[in-house]
Amino acid sequence: MPGSSSALHPPAGPPGGQTPILKIEDLHLRFGGLAALAGVGFEVAFGVIQAIIGPNGAGKTCILNCICRFYHPQRGRVIFMGQDISRLPTHAVAGLGIARSFQNIELFKGMTVLDNIKLGRHAHLKSGFLSGGLYLGKARREEMAVRAEIEEKIIDLLEIESIRKKVVGALPYGLQKRVELARALAMKPKLLLLDEPMAGMNLEETEDMARFILDINQEWGVTVVLIEHDMGVVMDISDDVVVLDFGTKIAQGPPAAVARNPHVIQAYLGADDAAHSKLGV
Amino acid sequence: AEEIPVGGIFDITGATSKVGADYAKGVRAACDYVNSLGGVNGRMINLESADYAYAIPKALNLYKKYVNVNKVFVIQGWGTGDTNALTPKLKKDEVIFMSASYDANLTNPANNPYNFFIGTDYSTSIRLAMQFAKDNGAKKVLFCYPDHPYGRAPIAAGKEYAQMLGLEIGPDEMVDLTATDATQQLLRMKKFAPDYVWLGGTTPSCAVVIKGAASILPEAKFLINCWGFDSNLPLLAQGAAEGRAFGILPVVPYGADVPGMKAMMAWTKGEPHTLHFVKGWVSVLVMAEGLKRAGDKLSGPGLKAALETLTDFETGGLCAPITYTSTDHRPNTTCGIGAIKDGKVVVLVGKVSMPREAKYIGN
Amino acid sequence: MPCGLFFETYEKDEAIFQTTFLRVAMAAFAVLLLAFPFFSDWLSGLTNLYWLGIMTHICIFVLGAQGLNLLTGFTGQISLGHGAFMAVGAFTAGVLHMDLGWNFLLAILAGGLMAAALGMIFGVPSLRLRGLYLAIATLAAQIIIIWLLRGVFEAGAVEVSDATLFGFSFDTDQRKYYLCLFFAALGTLYLKNLMRTRTGRAFVAVRDRYLSAEVIGVNLFKYRILSFGISSFMVGLAGGLWAFTENAVTDEAFGVALSVKYLAYIIVGGLGQVTGAIFGVTFLELLHWLLEVPTDALSRIFPNIFEKLASLREIVFGLIVIVFLIFEPDGLSARWRTIRSYWKLWPFSY
Amino acid sequence: MENLFGLIITGLAIGSVYALVAMGFALIYKSTSIINFAQGEFVLVGGYVALWLYTDLRGLAFEALAQARPEVFAALSPAGWQLVVVAAAFLLTIVAGLVMVLALERLILRPMIGEPIISVIMVTIALATVLKGLVTLIWETQIRNFDPPIFQQQDGLRLGVITLPGVYLWIFFFAALFLVSFALFFKFTRVGVSMRAVAADQQVAQSMGISVKTVFAISWSIGAVVAVVGGMLVGNINGVNIELSHFGLTVFPAVILGGLESVGGAIIGGLVIGLVQYLGPELVGQAVALYNRAFDAALVTPGNLEAVLPFVVLIAILMVRPYGLFGIKEIERV
Amino acid sequence: MALLSVNNIEVIYDDVILVLKGLSLEVEEGAIVALLGANGAGKTTTLKAISGLLKTEEGEVTDGAIVFDGQRINDLEPEKIVRRGVFQVMEGRRVFVDLTARENLIAAAHTQKCTRRQLDERIEQVYAYFPRLKERQNGLAGYLSGGEQQMLVIGRGMMARPRLMMLDEPSLGLSPLLVGEIFEIIARLNRELGTTILLVEQNARMALNIASHGYIMENGKIVLDDTTEKLKNNEDVKRFYLGVGEEGQKRSYRQVKHYKRRKRWLS
Ligand SMILES: Nc1ncnc2c1ncn2[C@@H]1O[C@H](COP(=O)(O)OP(=O)(O)OP(=O)(O)O)[C@@H](O)[C@H]1O
Ligand SMILES: Nc1ncnc2c1ncn2[C@@H]1O[C@H](COP(=O)(O)OP(=O)(O)OP(=O)(O)O)[C@@H](O)[C@H]1O
Ligand SMILES: [Mg+2]
Ligand SMILES: [Mg+2]
């Protein structure tokens, strides 16, 4: 329910949603002889859950890396809320409201959960090395405000109260994934990029994660780009699916239609239904 | 009777320990020797010695310990590093510091009232060396030294004096204390073709230069400051030093035929030592004489006053007679010049000296 | 959890000393430090060492080591150039005070800033270099700076008079000790605070995983350089204090050996822990000096093996450090944390 | 200018000394990710042990032999015996180096497996103190030299006015020998891959049955052998003294320049640093002279340039190639 | 007698954290056994205890025994255990990032005394299973995509030809097509080479399909163990691991209720 009073962030962008929140135009990315992306383009509408699927090595993660300006494509543009971000430095992208989680967990292993999440807020905080070191007045109030907000909104939503003082490195995989999501949420995202958030989770946790993503999308109005190999999840929660293979888009459409596409079945899904999802079919 | 506490700051294991250890042995042996003769005015010298491994912070703390805990008023020190770091404190605490850094800067009591040492200061040495070169027909000289306070200290004085003597001076060269080769410096020197080269390094680096010069600068001769000239030089230079290397000898080599050596030889039972041992030994003899003259005024100023009464004090020929005055702490302006003969250090000229000119005090 | 800690406010939860035990312990420690000069003579008589001087040096090195820990422990950039940065601080402070007559406080601040500036210049390669490559690039800083000091400025030795502030002169060892203690405490507090706010977290993020830090919005370049800046400022400040406590600055005091020693302090103490620098400096300095006691005693009994004893002392020192690292590879502060967490839950450990 | 050739050759010769010492670093780093700060002390130990065997033990051995079996003693000419002694000292030094490092491995390095790299590096720093202490304890600190020198001055290489002492040719030879043997060793065994695997991830390597201990032992042994041989050779240039260990620091630019994990790189790095030390000051001197002439200035070339130029060049090269010439670029990927 | 039997082991991390609390399981020679459980239940810890890798962390087996092929292996070094034929394919795509894909495979054959030819053949075999790896064989493993790294990790296990292969979440991050294939490959390894398999999986349906026996663990203990046939029909397993709804039909992720559903067999 967009606009609900409990929303942490008001839904961003025009209510009509005519202009897409994210527009990828003709991305080309080469590594030596390997074309990781060969002219991919698609749009992501405001407020949707957009899935990207495709075989291993198809270039899904590369797209996210291009959006975050971590990879620099040889050709093509990335347009976020009407602004061309193809020239920005990596760290500036975060300030615009693009947050992501990573395929191989990229948490700060030696820090506590709380510190990891606080770090997500980095781009939105003000204190510098002088005021911070003195820890008086503004810097202190700012810290306290962040702490309160993280505790009351994010940690509460993701149900990780009990581990917030733990050092991230020793947590089980599934919880680390959740902390990563929490950190991304702390970035006040308008667009949330999730790279295989359900990988390595059992059914129950996958269900939890799906619920969180839906909540974030529906209640907070955050647009989500979701890369996931669990087709059950993709089918159930996404609004639109892009299918990649060898760096090109081979299909796009509503989940049900995509799943019937013979190209997609041949390149990606295979015949064995049981392999599609942890969830019983 | 009461003991006289004396501090000792030595380098036994550090970077300069290759000469520092033997110097320390000299100091320690001499203290024992003095005590064996009944001490000073019946008081035994109690030497508190410690190794500072050429680490300045450690020297500083050792100093503070000696002054505050052991209540010493005289310290046998070692190198440029500790001496420079301690100098301001000495003035404040009125503590006598006898080091092996013979920097001329320390001989001016106006600036450094509590510093004393027994060797010919580096600036006087370099002047004597220039004089020696001039007397032996040199026209062109050049200065080669390490980029280190010890190396740099006398260079200005040397140049000024060489100029006065009408010698032509070539561009300076620097050879590191740990160098294993000096070809490029020698090649540059070759362009100037000096007759004499001043070497202000330590024995290993001087040996490197002299060895390389055998083929590059065969004509040149070398004048070596006191820490670069000892019995190791001929061994390291492998024959290249024969007849071409001349060194400043502030003290006589161990085993030289002078009266003062007998006691030393007897005390050390003939076990061979380097020149540096002798330096340490003499430093204590001079201190002991000062203490003796100070009588009951056992304090920094007391010892200072006593040392400043030394006039032509004889150390049994171990070094030139020593004189300190309240305005001039140069021990003497005389030293020996050594040469290498048959792989041994020999005394070439027993005494070269120059007048004690007031304008050279402290520089 | 029956025996955890619960806090009513976030404020309390974020406090530095969270339990009564800790607060009491810290207060006791502070009193001990403040009262130290009053029983140091007694200690000195006992051990034939000058403890006030040793403690003063410990304070100065703690300040510098906190600086290096910020850079190496928290930001993950090893520096082998901190000896030289300290020299810059010391020389700058000394020369400004003596030649231009600057007040000592201004002079040491300027020394710190000068060191910070140089630190930042030599930190620029950190933009591209990692790990040991960066470490050796900072070793280059060490060599080049000392070369410049020696060769170009012919700095040699500079004498510095005592520090005075509003007519009060820090001229006795006791006063110098308090001065250095004050700055060490200030530096420690600053670091502790810094590390629990935005900037500090960014440093740690850069250390742990600079790639994801960047994606989160941390400007890598800025924080890498900033870390060099603050770190060399602190060590430069330590240099300034050195100038005013020892009244002399010589380049020989700040060689590569000092840089390596700084690194040793924080590794032995515990990288990335504010207590690490304190523990490390204290442990290594105490070990070093306490070994002097048996060496000294033995060399009185066996004067002939004085030299051997000096070598032995070095060997024992090295061996103790090695054995210590084998048993406590994460440094002393790791042990301290274990003890602390034990006390937190006391009497219900486990 | 006429000396340029001589400078280049000498630069390369000095460079080969660095190369030899640097190689040990690279070998150890390659499989353990540890920079061994005690490498310079290995050199020191090598120098002293060789000297002791060669100078002190020789006399004793000869005496014993001449007494026990005079006929054997007479069978060889003094020159022949000299050769035997050199060879024996050489081999025994290597053995001593191996014994030392295997003991170190067993007692110190093995317990540190799996601990933070920086702590292990710290251990090597402490180890340096211990080794230095041992050397001063056993042999005291005085300067000593090989007497008679093993690699005589006269069989050096004459290049115009410059004579390159024979010992440099030997160093050159050994550097090449080691390089070739390592290249073959890594080519024909799978040890190279195992070493790099251990460096990359000790735990995973263990999960594949690679014994981290064995790999550590192998690489430390090789590293130590290279170092003690280096010490023996370097000790012949200008005698041994306690400062022989400074090589540990002076070769850092060479190691880094070549790229930490590359043995070949260490050699190239060493040679480049040697050249920089020998050509750099010359070039700077010429540049200053040109400037002086052009602007009628009187600048002096700063002294001791050869001490700083390697580091200046190092930083410059690292800015272009952050992993040295042949080092492995760290994977940057999310 | 079982090839592997784990008797009542206890594992403690950092001297304080008790993770396995008396866990026992058995794996018959030639069988495929599945080990299922929630995150943090201690599955990985169990495998590490068996392979000895626990010793490389701050973990310790404090009680119980692990017997492989009739011999106790608790106290052996990990490399010795590998030599006896136990190989753990670690979770989390732990490839050697600085080595090429091919070198990763070579490293895995460390314990195998095989000639260069045989080595090449084995590598080709792996490539036959994962053609994508062949294309990327000379690329540094660190630059492979997540799925490619996963293939490589499994390929390494194949290179070692162990008697007992322990796979920790092999299907993680693979495309559905490959997930199907991976399980087929596992079954084939078991069938053709006779490799005994201990499989930790989150994709319970696939795991139970190819395994003959299954263990379910919670909180460091085995709470349920049976043949897979029976497990598949167990109501709790169906509900919490296989995702079959109350009435036996498909559940949807959208319908997940907004309250915490925590059901544990114990506690
Ligand atoms: N930095 C890089 N250097 C070289 N090759 C790369 C790099 N990054 C990615 N690649 C290659 O590009 C291709 C696409 O990689 P990408 O990570 O985008 O795949 P993906 O679609 O996310 O696959 P998966 O589902 O397995 O994670 C892969 O073949 C990968 O090996
Ligand atoms: N090195 C470690 N130090 C401390 N605790 C650890 C360590 N490794 C794991 N743990 C703890 O042990 C418990 C079990 O972890 P383990 O990795 O075995 O679970 P798992 O069942 O494999 O979970 P997942 O499905 O997430 O892989 C977890 O609570 C974890 O926090
Ligand atoms: Mg991917
Ligand atoms: Mg696991």
Task: Please give chain A's pLDDT, 281 residues, in tens.
Answer: 333 433 444 444 444 546 889 999 999 999 988 899 999 999 999 999 999 999 999 999 999 999 999 899 999 999 999 999 998 999 999 989 999 999 888 999 888 999 999 999 998 888 888 888 888 878 888 888 888 888 888 888 888 888 888 889 888 888 899 999 999 999 999 999 999 999 888 888 888 899 999 999 998 999 999 999 999 899 899 999 999 999 999 999 999 999 989 999 998 988 877 778 877 65
Q: Is A214 on the interface with E (CB under 8 A)?
A: yes
Mutate to test the interface with A, among E175, E208, E233, E236 (most CBs of A within 10 A): E175
pLDDT score at B318: 94
Burial class (CB in 10 A: 0-12, 13-18, 19+), B235: buried
Task: Output the average pLDDT for chain B.
Answer: 93
pLDDT 10s digits, D127-176:
999 999 999 999 988 888 887 777 765 567 787 788 888 888 888 898 89
Tell the residue nearest (CA) to atom 25 of ligand 1: A56
- The CATH number that applies at residue C331 is 1.10.3470
Tell the residue nearest (CA) to atom 5 of ligand 1: E143
Cα dihedral A46, A47, A48, A53, rounded to 10, equals 70
What average pLDDT does this structure show over D259-263?
88
pLDDT 10s digits, B332-354:
999 999 999 998 999 999 899 99
Among A residues 197-216, those touching chain D with beta carbons less than 8 Å apart: none
Q: Is C169 on the interface with B (CB under 8 A)?
A: no
Min distance E62 CA to chain A CA atoms (Å): 20
Q: Is A135 on the interface with C (CB under 8 A)?
A: yes
Residue in A226, A229, A225, A227 with CA at minimum distance from that of residue A269: A229
Q: Grade residue C221 by pLDDT with cuts at 50, 70 and 90.
A: very high
pLDDT score at D329: 81
Measured from the CA of E48, which atom of ligand 2 is nearest?
A: 18
Ligand nearest to the CA of A173: 2
Tell the residue nearest (CA) to atom 19 of ligand 1: A57
Q: Which residue of D has its CA nearest to A68?
A: D334
- The verdict on a CB contact (< 8 Å) between C248 and B88 is yes
Q: Is the pLDDT of residue B141 over 90?
A: yes
Alpha-carbon torsion D54, D56, D61, D67, what sign? positive
Q: Is E200 on the interface with A (CB under 8 A)?
A: no
CATH dotted code for A18-97+189-281: 3.40.50.300
In a domain, C34, yes or no: no
Among A residues 230-259, those touching chain D with beta carbons less than 8 Å apart: none
Sheet holding E71-72, edge to edge: E17-27, E4-13, E59-68, E71-72
Q: Is the pLDDT of residue C180 over 90?
A: yes
pLDDT score at D2: 62
Other CB atoms within 10 A of residue E151 CB: 30
Residues lining ligand 2, CB < 6 A?
Answer: A 170-174; E 13-14, 17, 19, 37, 39-45, 57-58, 91
Ligand nearest to the CA of A175: 2
What percentage of residues in chain D have a pLDDT greater than 70? 98
Q: Is D296 on the interface with C (CB under 8 A)?
A: no
Domain assignment of residue C160, given as a range: 51-345
Ramachandran category for residue A57: left, alpha or beta (phi over 0 → left; psi -120 to 50 → alpha) = left
Contacts of E244 in chain A (CB under 8 A): 280
The pick from E9, E11, E13, E202 for probing ligand 2's pocket by mutation, whose C-beta has the most ligand atoms within 8 angstroms, reads E13
d(CA C160, CA B184): 39
What percentage of residues in chain E have a pLDDT greater than 70? 93
pLDDT 10s digits, B75-94:
999 998 899 899 999 999 99
- The verdict on a CB contact (< 8 Å) between B187 and D17 is no
d(CA D272, CA D253): 10
D3-320 classified as CATH 1.10.3470: yes
Domain boundaries, chain A: 18-97+189-281, 111-186
Q: Is the pLDDT of residue B170 over 90?
A: yes
Sheet holding E213-218, edge to edge: E86-89, E164-168, E196-200, E32-37, E213-218, E221-227
d(CA D321, CA D329): 9
**Which pTM does this prediction carry?**
0.92
Ramachandran category for residue E197: left, alpha or beta (phi over 0 → left; psi -120 to 50 → alpha) = beta
Q: Are B290 and B233 in contact (CB under 8 A)?
A: no
Q: Name the E strands within chain A.
A: 22-31, 34-44, 49-53, 75-80, 83-84, 98-100, 191-195, 223-227, 240-245, 248-253
Cis geometry, peptide bond prior to residue B218 (ω within 30 degrees of 0)? no
Domain boundaries, chain E: 234-267
d(CA A148, CA D111): 45
Mutate to test the interface with B, among D135, D161, D279 (most CBs of B within 10 A): D161
Ligand nearest to the CA of E133: 1
Q: Grade residue C346 by pLDDT with cuts at 50, 70 and 90.
A: low
pLDDT 10s digits, D16-29:
989 999 999 998 99
pLDDT score at A6: 39
Burial class (CB in 10 A: 0-12, 13-18, 19+), A281: middle
Identity of the residue in D35, D125, D311 whose CB atom sits nearest the CB atom of C143: D311
d(CA C104, CA C96): 9
| Both tokens assigned to C210 | 């600079």
Q: What ipTM was assigned to the predicted interfaces of this complex? A: 0.91
Q: Are E158 and E140 in contact (CB under 8 A)?
A: no
pLDDT 10s digits, B242-286:
999 999 999 999 989 999 999 999 999 988 899 999 999 999 999
What's the length of chain A? 281
Q: Is the pLDDT of residue E265 over 50?
A: no
What average pLDDT does this structure show over D179-186?
88
pLDDT 10s digits, D262-273:
889 999 999 999
- The verdict on a CB contact (< 8 Å) between B207 and D239 is yes
Residues lining ligand 1, CB < 6 A?
Answer: A 31, 34, 36, 54, 56-62, 103; D 333; E 136, 139, 143-148
- The verdict on a CB contact (< 8 Å) between A175 and E40 is yes
Q: Is the pLDDT of residue E99 over 80?
A: yes
Number of domains in chain C: 1
What percentage of residues in chain D have a pLDDT greater than 90? 42
pLDDT 10s digits, C125-177:
988 888 889 999 999 999 999 999 988 777 678 899 999 888 899 999 999 99
- The verdict on a CB contact (< 8 Å) between B51 and C246 is no
Are chains B and A touching, using the cut-off of 8 Å on CB pairs and a minimum of 3 such pairs?
no
Strands B196-199 and B173-174: unpaired
- The verdict on a CB contact (< 8 Å) between C296 and B148 is no
Min distance D278 CA to chain C CA atoms (Å): 18
In a domain, C318, yes or no: yes
